[in-house]
Amino acid sequence: MKTAHEPTTLLPALLRQAQLGDEQAMNDLLTRITPYVARICLSIAHDNSSDATQEALLAVYRGLAGLREPAAFYGWVRSVTVREAVRTAKRLGDTVPCSPVEARYEANPLDTVYINDVLERLSTAHREVLTLRVYGLNEEEMAETLSLPIGTVRSRLHRARRRFQEAWQPSAA
């Protein structure tokens, strides 16, 4: 079974048909990306992940016609999803820490526990910028997603990294 982010030969044709208004193609496309979107939303919005997933899929549905480069589809979906998950988490008051680390690093399960513990001790603002960085967003994209000036994002990211390193050092010994 293919995962949502695996390239397929059918995706460009499906994407093109969905952009032209084919409802079945749109449904198939949204069905195909739902697990991918849900994983991202779960790591950001936790208890509100189903709401975030719905919002992200709706944003993809509404914005798909404006996507010009089919090769950028999954990157665009990721950006839309992260933005909507952050908005949903803020709107619904979710302050649970995000941890996409579990999905990216499977070497030692205890490392995930330690990383989650350190993330939980950080402020929400610091967890947000670190999580968005792990998802590959640059400072400009983070600023847009969080509706903050880029200077604020840069200083938060710098402080978040420093706080994470300070908190991590005792567990490294």
Digit-coded pLDDT (tens) for 120-168: 788 888 888 888 888 778 888 888 878 889 999 999 999 999 998 888 7
Please say whether the structural domain 1-93 has been given the CATH code 3.30.420.270: no
Q: What is the pTM of this model?
A: 0.57
Q: Where in the chain is the domain with CATH 1.10.10.10?
A: 97-173
- Residue in 30, 25, 18 with CA at minimum distance from that of residue 55: 30
How far CA 129 is from CA of 9, 78, 133, in Å, comes to 35, 16, 6
Residue range 97-173 forms a domain whose CATH class is mainly alpha
Q: Where in the chain is the domain with CATH 1.10.1740.10?
A: 1-93
- Residue in 133, 131, 130, 4 with CA at minimum distance from that of residue 57: 4
SS3 149: coil
Segment 68-80, tens digit of pLDDT? 888 788 888 988 9
